[in-house]
Structure 1
Amino acid sequence: MKKIFHISGTTIPGGGPEHIFQLLKRLNRNEWKIIICTSKDGPYWEKFNSLGIKAYNLALRILSLKTSFKLFLILRKEKPDLIHTHGKGPGLYGRIISSFLNIPVIHTFHGFHYEDLPIVTRWFHLAVENLLSLFTDHHIFVSFGEKNRARVLKFLDEENSSVIHNGIDHEYIRNLPVTRNAALKISDSENWKSKKILGTIARLSPEKGILCLLTAFSKAIKKTPDLRLIIIGGYPEEHKDYYLRVKNLIDKENLTDYVRILGYRQDTVKIL
């Protein structure tokens, strides 16, 4: 049996942790022994543990020599056959350490964003990604648009990269015992029963474009006043300023009665 070691940055609810959870849930246990290293900062920690896999708790979204050394020791001890990194911080740690330990590594980009960065930060970000691509055996993107944006990386090509879309457990969704009225109740939107409701599920951070969505929505309700908007998603501490900008825009455009931000939810699919 081979051993695979996943490295992720957070267990706070979001697309990345759910992607990883579904992946681990469906890996063939007769072929792979699974280990994950991530931060015990959210409910997905318990979900990973419910799969009966070994989990290490490390904060990998902040750069630290101490953290790198701890991860190096863990990987040297576990001796995995394959490392799979997810996201920026874990990708930096995992891919560099894998080169020292001579372990093959796959990296999944859960978003490739650089266009809106200040020019110096953008240059540094792309320089680091170009360097890391030399240590990466295969790159995985969750959409073709994401892969197209990443073509600025010099060492990325069709042989060392693939697009694998996020999957949806349609059977689970189809069999959920939930009605529109029940969804309105659990989202505190019962007074919107007769309204046309739009919704988005996204972290409140710049790359998700929530400010653009609200700007467009404020124009749309002038033509269609019975529209309402539900936003499901919270924000990491580093994006608190963005969250405040979102709240300020809602107040400025008098959208308080039209928009609801529900934060992180465990019942997101039921509301959807």
Structure 2
Amino acid sequence: MKILYIIDKPNMYGSEQHLLDVIKSFSQSQDVSLIAFSKGEMLEHLPKIKVAIFKIRWICKLSEFLHLYEFIKNEKPDLIHCHQPKALFYGTVIGKFLGIKTIITVHSRPYDHALIHKNLFKRLVVFIFHNFISFVSKILANKIIYVNNKMYLKSIFKYKSQYISNWLKSDIKYTTSKSFNKKKKINFLTVGSISKSKGFDLLIDFFNILKKDSIDFSAKVYGHIQDDFIKDITIPEEVELCGFKNNIINAYQEADIFILFSRSETFGLSYLEAMSQGLPIICLDLDDFIELIPNDNIKVKNIEEDIVDLLQKILKKEKYEKISRINIDKSKEYSYDKKMEQLKLVYEEMSR
């Protein structure tokens, strides 16, 4: 089978790592190629496949669209599999014109794209625009894959939809057990962009509560820094901003608690990675986490001072070790091999 993957920005965040894993798996047995709408770090990690870069904007010139159209037409793929909103839109439109079956993987909601903007009018415009793009892409697609079960259950296109969650990398090494020494300071770890959508402002509020209660701690934050967002926030001296890094397994292993107050998540891969290393989780109580994060962890509706009491409870030896074991066991449900087999069945269904 000849599979053409399309992505907008090939960085190395969640959706890009997701696609990279898919390409690495299926390039071993299928004829695989990739179109990206920009350059990015993900391209450096690809296996030896055909890669084409088309600088396509949301509103592109007719000549740019026709160039992309002709390229895909000449490639003659059996299947087009699209990731990220712009790729979903252009991939499904061209697939429909050429009579090529298309699959779209939905990694985000319109709300997620709107949330990052401070200006309310701009936020509304972005929300409406992404709703429109999402709706058109879903109408045109032959198959829709959701990485979020709640989104799948609410889909009006359920007849052609399937839920396949994200997964842990194939080379992940699970921790067998983890314990906490109450005599030492608490080491927190956060993995997520320093932005409003990832709740960085709430994270700082939480750390200030700990300082007020004279709790000894340190924190490392890994993720892309949004300068316009962070400029008005005072960072406590206990908090180290480490920037974006690819392989941070050592950081997970050295931490005591994983904490991230995402306001919205379609899956939550960094939470899952933390669970695989036996870390208890502190997060907002989102519906999206009902399936992923066991209730033994700390899930809060908002940042209140009684969160300190909840923290002290999970740091007790028996409680901490129990949560650690539960999280490790839960993370094993999201194995790479299981998810690739699910996707393989989708491809086989589409090739009939």
TM over 0.5: yes
Distance 2:215 2:28 in 1: 52
Match of 1:114, SS? helix
Distance 1:100 1:207, change over 3 A: farther
The aligned residue for residue 187 of structure 1 is none
Distance 1:62 1:128 in 2: 10
1:135 shift after superposition: 0.2
Q: Structure 2: which 5+ residue stretches go unaligned?
A: 116-122, 176-183, 253-352
The aligned residue for residue 225 of structure 1 is 215
8 Å contact from structure 1 (residues 9, 59) kept in 2: no
Distance 1:130 1:40, change over 3 A: closer
Among all aligned residue pairs of Structure 1 and Structure 2, give the percentage whose two residues are the same amino acid: 22
Equivalent of 1:244 in 206, 228, 234: 228
Distance 1:3 1:216, change over 3 A: same
8 Å contact from structure 2 (residues 9, 38) kept in 1: yes
1:55 corresponds to which letter in structure 2? V
2:197 corresponds to which letter in structure 1? E
Superposed CA RMSD in Å reads 2.7
1:268 shift after superposition: 2.2
Distance 1:141 1:217 in 2: 34
- Structure-1-length-normalised TM-score: 0.76
Match of 1:36, SS? strand
Deviations 1:106-143, CA, capped at 9 Å, x for gaps = 11112113275633442333233222211011111212
8 Å contact from structure 1 (residues 14, 203) kept in 2: no
Match of 1:248, SS? coil
Match status 1:24 vs 2:20: no
Match status 1:215 vs 2:198: no
8 Å contact from structure 1 (residues 9, 61) kept in 2: no
Distance 2:110 2:129 in 1: 13
1:26 corresponds to which letter in structure 2? S
1:74 corresponds to which letter in structure 2? F
Match status 1:271 vs 2:251: yes
Distance 1:68 1:3, change over 3 A: same
1:59 shift after superposition: 3.2
1:217 shift after superposition: 3.4
2:53 corresponds to which letter in structure 1? N
1:265 corresponds to which letter in structure 2? K
8 Å contact from structure 2 (residues 102, 142) kept in 1: yes
Deviations 1:59-106, CA, capped at 9 Å, x for gaps = 346542344233212111101111111011111111111111111111
Q: Structure 1: which 5+ residue stretches go unaligned?
A: 176-193
Distance 1:199 1:100, change over 3 A: same
The aligned residue for residue 165 of structure 2 is 165
Distance 1:39 1:132, change over 3 A: closer
Distance 1:229 1:6, change over 3 A: same
Distance 1:158 1:230 in 2: 41
Equivalent of 2:55 in 59, 67, 82: 59
How many residues are treated as equivalent by the alignment? Answer: 236
Match status 1:77 vs 2:77: no
The aligned residue for residue 40 of structure 2 is 42
Deviates more, 1:90-99 or 1:55-64: 55-64
Distance 2:141 2:191 in 1: 31
8 Å contact from structure 1 (residues 138, 161) kept in 2: yes
1:267 corresponds to which letter in structure 2? N
Distance 1:143 1:223, change over 3 A: farther
8 Å contact from structure 1 (residues 198, 230) kept in 2: yes
Distance 1:61 1:231 in 2: 32
Distance 1:208 1:102, change over 3 A: farther
